[in-house]
């Protein structure tokens, strides 16, 4: 079993590899049957995960990831993160809505929890507020989509 610090560093490397679509690093850090869930995807293998990452939207560039590891025990790692990015290409929301590039710098915040099998990640869960980017781009008024206590309201 690896230490909490090593697991957190492995998780950070996996997140950076996902942003960069680095298939080789993902394959080294994750088991073949890694399960991943985010608000935007659900996969059951490293291959499916990479296929989803390859289909990721190209609306944002100049991606900068900041990661803060959280102390957890057992076979888990957990990190809080923020991702700053610049809106440089059209963003398509459904079949009839497109947001033209604004040049705005936006930041989303989230958390990722990973479970390990030895030194490899076998499960990932990632959470973030899906509406945060739309608010920062001015598409939604600040706080829309949130309940009275400003927590995100579940969609669907």
So where are the chain's domains? 4-136
In this structure, whether the domain defined by 4-136 belongs to CATH 3.30.1360.120 is answered with no
Q: Looking at the predicted structure, is the pLDDT value of residue 94 above 50?
A: yes
Q: Which of 33-42, 105-114, 144-153 has the highest mean pLDDT?
A: 105-114
pLDDT tens across 47-72, in order? 898 888 888 778 999 999 999 999 88
User: pTM of the prediction?
Assistant: 0.81
- For residues 141-156, give the mean pLDDT: 50
Q: Looking at the predicted structure, is the pLDDT value of residue 152 above 90?
A: no
pLDDT of residue 156: 33
- Residue 147 in contact with residue 153, Cβ under 8 Å? yes
């Amino acid at each position: 079993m690896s230490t909490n610090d090593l697991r957190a560093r492995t998780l950070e490397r996996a997140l950076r590899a996902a942003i960069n679509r680095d298939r080789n690093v993902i394959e080294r850090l994750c088991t073949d049957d890694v399960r991943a869930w985010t608000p935007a995807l659900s996969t059951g293998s490293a291959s499916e995960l990479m296929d989803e990452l390859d289909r990721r939207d190209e609306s944002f560039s100049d991606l900068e990831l900041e990661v803060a590891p959280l102390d957890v025990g057992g076979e888990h790692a957990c990190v809080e993160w923020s991702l700053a990015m610049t809106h440089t290409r059209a963003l398509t929301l459904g079949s009839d809505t497109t947001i033209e590039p604004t040049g705005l710098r936006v930041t989303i915040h989230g958390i990722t929890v990973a479970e390990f099998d030895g030194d490899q990640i076998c499960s990932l869960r990632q959470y973030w507020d899906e509406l945060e980017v739309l608010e920062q781009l001015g598409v939604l008024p600040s706080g829309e989509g949130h309940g009275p206590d400003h927590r995100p309201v579940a969609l669907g």
